[in-house]
Amino acid sequence: MNSIKTIGATLALLLATTAFAGSALAADKVVIGFSQAASNSAHRNTMTERNKAYAAENLKDTTLIVTNAEGKSAKQITDIESLEVQGIQALMISPQDSAAVTPIIKDALKQGIKVVTLERSIDGVPVTLHIGPHNKPIGALAGQYVVKALGGKGNVVEIKGDPAVAPAVERSEGFHEAIAGSAIKIIAEQHADWDEEKALKFMEDTLQRFGPGEIQAVYAHNDNMAFGALKAIKAAGRDKEGILIIGIDGENRAIRAVAKGDFAATFTYSTVAPEGVIAAHALVTGDTAALDKLGKMTKHPDGTMEIEIPSNMVTKDNATQFFCKGFGDDPECK
């Protein structure tokens, strides 16, 4: 009987030791959460997949947990709550609606979670790190390009992104500031929420309102919507009017469209991949050298940081330099 008790005690000790070892192993693991806003564009999908692939290949000490808000702010909030429960040490987030997630982001910061915003900032919240391109200068460059290309006079259709996030607001502000003082006029504008089909429908309606010669340029806040505008223009038989189409993001197919003359310009816009997961990992592990390699670093007095990833304007003059260096589908890049 005593031998049975001894065996039982030994087994209990072994189980406890194993459990402790497992707990210690889990504690040594870097756990990063990534709350993605949606999966409705090549830009967003590339951001997710490249960060996942880099983590799997290069960060063997890391568990990366990815969620997809599917374009719904309420779901993004519950996604983040779930990530908090899973013990994340850092949160990467590209917000669907910056204002909506503000309370939950403040909660994460209070818990000591490192918060990294990817290319979409959250106003009024001092997150640990923001990383991505600067949108207002991109909008300004687009505006300057239109002013120069049209000789300072002409009518522009502006197709905007989602007003709930900073890139759409800043890309519009930069553009409007750049055309101020010229005879460039915005004759039609609408939020198409980054969606090609919504942009297509808006452009179809706009082409019916304004006849041949009344539209000189289309400024779309992303390449997706620029392609919607292009489809509408071609379907209406108005592609011989010389309407300039300007997009943003630098999708591979957009760069090809610039080279062909379908687009006048696009702007490269980093998917922050793998920079996002590298930054999150570096914040958890204290690897400041890794952060410094990601782009232009700015350290603010309150301890927060920002890393700017540069953007490039792509026109017909330099498009070949950017072939297959963007993201998204392009048969010639496979």
Q: What is the CATH classification number for the domain harbouring 85?
A: 3.40.50.2300
* pLDDT of amino acid 23: 37
Residue-wise pLDDT tens for the chain (334 aa)?
444 433 443 433 333 333 333 333 345 799 999 999 999 889 999 999 999 999 999 999 999 999 999 999 999 999 999 999 999 999 999 999 999 999 999 999 999 999 999 999 998 899 999 999 999 999 999 999 999 999 999 999 999 999 999 999 999 999 999 999 999 999 999 999 999 999 999 999 999 999 999 999 999 999 999 999 999 999 999 999 999 999 999 999 999 999 999 999 999 999 999 999 999 999 999 999 999 999 999 999 999 999 999 999 999 999 999 999 999 988 888 7
* 329 within some domain: yes
Considering the domain architecture, whether residues 95 and 237 belong to the same structural domain is answered as no
Considering the domain architecture, whether residues 123 and 145 belong to the same structural domain is answered as no
Considering the domain architecture, whether residues 48 and 159 belong to the same structural domain is answered as no
Mode of pairing for the β-strands spanning 266-267 and 313-314: antiparallel
Kindly state the helix (H) or strand (E) to which residue 197 belongs, with its residue range: helix 196-209
Could you give the CA distance from residue 226 to residue 208 in angstroms, rounded to a whole number?
18
Question: What pTM, to 2 d.p., does this model score?
Answer: 0.89
112 Cβ contact partners less than 8 Å away, ≥ 6 residues apart:
none
Residue whose token pair is 């210690």: 24
Integer Rg of the chain from CA: 24
* pLDDT of amino acid 20: 35
Long-range pairs for 112-116: beta carbons < 8 A, 24 or more residues apart: 113/84, 113/88, 113/89, 114/89, 114/90, 114/280, 114/283, 114/284, 115/90, 115/91, 116/90, 116/91, 116/92, 116/276, 116/279, 116/280, 116/283
User: Domain limits at 102?
Assistant: 10-132+271-294
Could you give the CA distance from residue 21 to residue 37 in angstroms, rounded to a whole number?
36
* pLDDT of amino acid 27: 55
* 258 within some domain: yes
Considering the domain architecture, whether residues 142 and 49 belong to the same structural domain is answered as no
* pLDDT of amino acid 22: 38
Considering the domain architecture, whether residues 180 and 196 belong to the same structural domain is answered as yes
Could you give the CA distance from residue 215 to residue 157 in angstroms, rounded to a whole number?
7
Structural domains of the chain, count: 2
Considering the domain architecture, whether residues 83 and 108 belong to the same structural domain is answered as yes
Considering the domain architecture, whether residues 260 and 232 belong to the same structural domain is answered as yes
Could you give the CA distance from residue 305 to residue 300 in angstroms, rounded to a whole number?
6
Considering the domain architecture, whether residues 15 and 47 belong to the same structural domain is answered as yes
* 165 within some domain: yes
Interhelix angle 275-285/42-58, rounded to 10 degrees, is 50
Residue whose token pair is 């830009």: 43
Considering the domain architecture, whether residues 223 and 254 belong to the same structural domain is answered as yes
* 240 within some domain: yes
Considering the domain architecture, whether residues 149 and 182 belong to the same structural domain is answered as yes
* 3 within some domain: no
